[in-house]
């Protein structure tokens, strides 16, 4: 979570958000969040910091920002912590987990 203060300097658009399986009422594990987290990485994770870069119709600036994010996380002592997920389906699954968590 400490990395977020540095990540925002890269100008993620439109959002950066922490996702953890215990979001929601009384810290109950949200099954949908847990399942998404398990498919988001090949390593066990306790939480995910979602970072989105978007430019309508422009892939090069987004790839550059992603490269900057990878370098930044390495500089912060967190090499290999960035897992890239592209495409509408993967993106939607990751962001959709917040809806049930925030309304539970």
Domain count, the chain: 1
- Sign of the Cα torsion 15, 84, 2, 95 reads positive
pLDDT per residue as tens digits for the range 2-23: 888 999 999 888 778 777 766 5
What domain range is 55 assigned to? 4-103
Are the beta carbons of 53 and 60 closer than 8 angstroms? no
On whether the pTM is more than 0.85, the answer is no
- Is the pLDDT confidence value at 102 over 50? no
pLDDT per residue as tens digits for the range 46-96: 777 888 888 787 889 889 999 999 999 999 999 988 888 766 666 676 666
Are the beta carbons of 54 and 14 closer than 8 angstroms? yes
């Amino acid at each position: 979570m400490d990395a977020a203060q540095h990540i925002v300097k890269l100008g993620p658009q439109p959002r950066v958000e922490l996702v953890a399986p215990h979001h929601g009422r009384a810290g109950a594990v949200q099954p949908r969040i847990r399942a998404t987290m398990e498919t988001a990485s090949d390593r066990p994770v306790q939480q995910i910091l979602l970072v989105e870069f978007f430019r309508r119709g422009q892939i090069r600036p987004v790839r550059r920002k992603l490269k900057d994010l990878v370098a930044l996380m390495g500089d912060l002592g967190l090499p290999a912590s960035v897992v890239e997920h592209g495409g509408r389906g993967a993106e939607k699954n990751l962001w959709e987990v917040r809806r049930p968590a925030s309304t539970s």
